[in-house]
Structure 1
Amino acid sequence: MVDDIPARMMFAGRRWKVSDTPTRLRSSIWNAPLGPHRKLDGWRFPATDEAGRSFVFDVFRGEGGWHVHHSYD
C-alpha cells in the first residue's frame, strides 16, 4: 500500500505491480457472512507481473491480512 492505496503485491509466487487506478469495493458487493459491526472493504485493480502478464484482482482485508478473492484474465 502507498498512502492506503494498493501499489504492489505477491500472489501465486509472483510479484505484481498495480498498473492502473484501483477502485474501492464496499461490503455491499461481497458475498461473505459478516458480524453485525463489521464491514468488508476491498479493492479491484489491474496488475502486471514481471513477465508482462496482466490480470484484474479483487482483494479484501480479512483476518491475517489481505486476500485475493478473485482474479480475472
Structure 2
Amino acid sequence: MSVEVQMPLVQEFVEVWTNDAGQPERLVWRARRFRVTDTPTALVGPCDWWSPFTGHDVSPGRVPLEISGWRFQATAADGETHVFDVERVAGRWQVVRVFDLSRA
C-alpha cells in the first residue's frame, strides 16, 4: 500500500527543462536528476496583472487565472520518486512542495 506524505513548503530554486508546450520533462533538485514520469498538471492562480484589483468585487464573474506552476511525478535513476509542485519566481523555477511516495 502506498502512503503519500506531504513535506512542508520547500522553496528551493531548481533547474527545470520543459517541452515546446512548456510542460516540465526533467529537473535537477538537490544535485539529483529526476525525469518526469507522468503527465504534468497545471497549477493555476490569479493573473499578475490582476494584483491591483485584488480587493474588488468581481461579481458575477471571477478572477482571471493563468498557469502559475506545475505538479508532476518525477523519478531518479535509482527509483527514488517524488511528486513536485514547481512555480516560476523572478524568472527562475522554484520547488514549493514535495510529496514523498513511500510504502507503508
TM-score with structure 2 length normalisation? 0.58
The total of aligned residue pairs comes to: 67
How far has the Cα of 1:51 moved from its partner? 1.0
Query: For structure 2, which runs of at least 5 residues remain unmatched after alignment?
Result: 1-17, 53-65
Equivalent residue for 1:54, pick from 63, 67, 81: 81
- 1:13 equivalent in structure 2: 31
Residue type matched to 1:18 in 2?
V
Q: CA RMSD in A?
A: 2.0
Which structure carries more strand by proportion? Answer: 2
User: Percent identical across equivalent pairs?
Assistant: 40
C-alpha distance 53-19 of structure 1, shift in aligned 2 (>3 A)? same
- 1:27 equivalent in structure 2: 45
- Preserved CA contact (<8 Å) 2:43 2:68: yes
Higher relative contact order (CA 8 A, sep 6+): 2
- Preserved CA contact (<8 Å) 2:42 2:67: no
